[in-house]
Structure 1
């Protein structure tokens, strides 16, 4: 699942006419980077959620994507904006799409640049065979999030720690594997028929406290394209 429903308030005025995942990064719309990386790993059935200016995304991509030297990608959509008039936040959007997703599925953000991320079938198999309900890729805390999001034990358990504590050394990259069971106790039925907005972080922290979230560190290039300045820096660095 590719998350592409947000308003992108901090990116205004760039996002007044263009959804943030379609802003150009190094020669192509930002969301194509994770979509192409997924395709490179053989994950060719992808679902995109939309809301703000969401009609622009299927207009660009359609139901199939063809990129040089990559397998054809089959695309489905969850149109939160059309169905409910707004985005449903991360967990609400995932639960809305849940009936269309496999028992184990990737979630990536369409507004994060992580060109070195490699999506593999063995990663899915290891996670599916584990007792964990979520597996997160973490990055060392960037300058815009010095207090961090989570800790990581030597055994690979993601830890719910107070922001700014010494061991809260990692920030969630937004790349993750989930099992449908992760969302079983979120309070919403699969399909989220009422269109309830629900944040993901509280669900993750509760699952961490139960020992159900594992993780690993992604050491490649990573940018949360959250401001016009970060977008400009990315495009300058490719020149």
Structure 2
């Protein structure tokens, strides 16, 4: 994968007041903006073109990150306007910047030690999702995983119900025929599951959602203790 999309267009409402004047992806963790950790991991996985979708306080992203030359990559921005387009709409709008090949997508508001280089460059279906164990705030999970395939509900016997870790590899076709505008990606996942074209894998390493001030504090404390 040479292209990646970092989802950074959220309004950061649950992170207020920290996001009143700073977009959530630009909040610092260990001395650098959260989104920079993703950029560095993408560079390590040989990604050379990164698209960042923006909305809330969008002008701050190029001010902080520039064109990517600092990391040896090219960064382009997909501005969605004052109201974010949701994941599906945001991905659709960014397609002209992403090229024809499958691309990696990661949400800016997570932290993980996933090695992006280990993800498939060519998904077997329309997308390949990284799943994680169900966190306390999402105990019922999203999809069931069995033998590399994702299912709705409980899935077949022996399947494990897991939570989408907000990292995945996508083919353009998952959204390219949709009408431009604001829409969620969930219906596309559901159609892909029905067609047997949504694969996945379970990641069992360190992963955290960073959606609230408490979660941000917990991440910082956890990383401090791990490094100590």
Q: What TM-score do you get using the length of structure 1 for normalisation?
A: 0.85
> Contact 1:124–1:177 (CA<8 Å) still a contact in 2?
yes
The answer as to 2:23 corresponding to 1:25 is no
Three-state SS of the structure 2 residue aligned to 1:113 is: strand
The answer as to 2:151 corresponding to 1:159 is yes
Deviation of the 1:66 alpha carbon: 2.1
**Which consecutive residues of structure 2, in runs of 5 or more, have no partner in the other structure?**
none
Q: Deviations over 1:36-57 (max 9, x none)?
A: 1110010011000100011101
The aligned runs of 1:92-107 (5 Å cut-off) are: 92-102=89-99, 103-107=101-105
Deviation of the 1:168 alpha carbon: 5.8
How many angstroms apart in 2 are the aligned matches of 1:144 and 1:122?
26
Three-state SS of the structure 1 residue aligned to 2:114 is: coil
Deviation of the 1:167 alpha carbon: 5.2
Match of 1:109 among 107, 110, 113: 107
Match of 1:173 among 156, 165, 168: 165
Deviation of the 1:62 alpha carbon: 0.8
Match of 1:91 among 78, 85, 88: 88
The aligned runs of 1:1-239 (5 Å cut-off) are: 1-67=5-71, 72-81=72-81, 85-102=82-99, 103-114=101-112, 116-120=113-117, 123-125=120-122, 127=123, 130=124, 132-154=125-147, 156-161=148-153, 169-185=161-177, 187-188=178-179, 192=180, 196-239=181-224
How many angstroms apart in 1 are the aligned matches of 2:134 and 2:63?
36
* Aligned-pair Cα RMSD in Å: 1.8
Q: Deviations over 1:5-35 (max 9, x none)?
A: 0001111111111101011112211111221
> Contact 1:26–1:234 (CA<8 Å) still a contact in 2?
no
